[in-house]
Amino acid sequence: MCYHPPMKRAFVILLLLASLTIGTWGCDAGGLPTVTPVQPNPTPSATAAPAETATEVAAATNTPQPTSTSTPSSTATRTSTSLPATATQTAAAEPTEEPPTAVEEATQEPLSTATEGGGGSVEATPTAEQPRRPTPTAEPAPAGGWSEVVRGYPGKKRVALTFDAGGTGETMPAVLDVLRQRHIHITMFFTGKFVEQYPDGVKQAVADGHEIANHTYSHLDSLGLTDQQLKDELARTESIIYNLTGVSTKPYWRPPYGSRDNHVLNVAKSQGYRSIYWTLDSLDSVGQVKTPDFIFNRVTNTPNFNLDGAIILQHFGSDASAQALPRILDRLQEMGYSVVTISDLLTP
């Protein structure tokens, strides 16, 4: 063992301390690498999907996709309203084929039409899209006349069955046969187009002695026509019927659908026409298809309805009315009523 004097021994100790210090500094300076922990792969979830991907799926399937609470409110609104809006537009674009029912007619807003000489009003709410069949408030026509009649003179047990002709005329031969067999004359309202389509039927009606009246040419809603258009509609039908049969449609006309107001009545009156409305609608051309039994009961057995002086509305286009006609005529005869023309009904 070597002997070191105290100074030398102290120097050696200093050297050892210095060596240890230098080693420590080297390690702290980055001698060992720093490890960054590897993050695990995220688990896929619906909420983590990109917004554009969800939009593409929704557009491709046209099915609203489930969304979390983080879905923007604007996207949710577009998704929830798009289909209902389309359904609403489709429904609005498709016109309903169902004609107005009797209940709908009864609840329409009344349209008062003052008649010449005062008094009298009717209910009507026709529209351009779907003309409504009004229900009249019937009153006897005074001598000298109004521009519209809804009931004839009471007291003589007379009833006017009237047939409108604006559609098909397939039932016309059968109706004429029934009336001819019973020697009954009624008033018929023809459109010009109907006369052009069924000229032989119209000539037979005249030959059988029926009263012929004007129902305009095209069966358009009179409230949608100008004054001149209405005049032309009436004049054209008058000309067609007169040239075919030699008889005039004046002085009676009936507005298609019963659609009119006081102005329309005055325009027609200026052309020599008096509107013939109705006291009772058989309903053979509105609502569901009627049976002959329905028409028979409607005309002859409507509760609280006074047939005396009444004007009944029927149509050549109704098979039910044609089939019910023999029973109606027999029943009215049993009840003591005479079936007459409008001119006879308006004779005091």
Q: Residue 254 is part of a domain; what is its CATH number?
A: 3.20.20.370
Q: Domain of 293?
A: 158-345
Q: Mean pLDDT throughout 237-265?
A: 97
Q: What is the per-residue pLDDT for 41?
A: 37
Of 138-147, 167-176, 308-317, the least confident: 138-147
Residue 327 within any structural domain of the chain:
yes
Residue 81 within any structural domain of the chain:
no
Of 55-59, 160-164, 239-243, the least confident: 55-59
Residue 59 within any structural domain of the chain:
no
Asked whether the predicted pLDDT for residue 104 surpasses 90, the reply is no
Q: What is the per-residue pLDDT for 18?
A: 52
Owner of token pair 């325009």: 267
Alpha helices in the chain (DSSP H): 6-26, 51-61, 73-93, 102-106, 172-181, 192-197, 199-207, 227-245, 262-270, 292-300, 319-334, 342-345
Q: What percent of the chain has pLDDT over 90?
A: 58
Residue 22 within any structural domain of the chain:
no
Q: What is the per-residue pLDDT for 75?
A: 34
Q: What is the per-residue pLDDT for 265?
A: 96
Q: How many domains does the chain have?
A: 1
Q: For the segment 124-170, what is each residue's pLDDT rounded down to a tens digit?
A: 333 333 344 444 434 444 444 448 999 999 999 999 999 999 999 99
Residue 266 within any structural domain of the chain:
yes
Residue 226 within any structural domain of the chain:
yes
Q: Mean pLDDT throughout 227-246?
A: 98
DSSP for 243-306 reads: HHHS---TTEE--GGG---HHHHHHHHHTT-EEE--SEE--TTSSSPPPHHHHHHHHH--TT--
Residue 204 within any structural domain of the chain:
yes
Q: 340 exposed, middle or buried (CB, 10 Å; 0-12, 13-18, 19+)?
A: buried
Residue 7 within any structural domain of the chain:
no
Asked whether the predicted pLDDT for residue 316 surpasses 50, the reply is yes
Asked whether the predicted pLDDT for residue 320 surpasses 90, the reply is yes
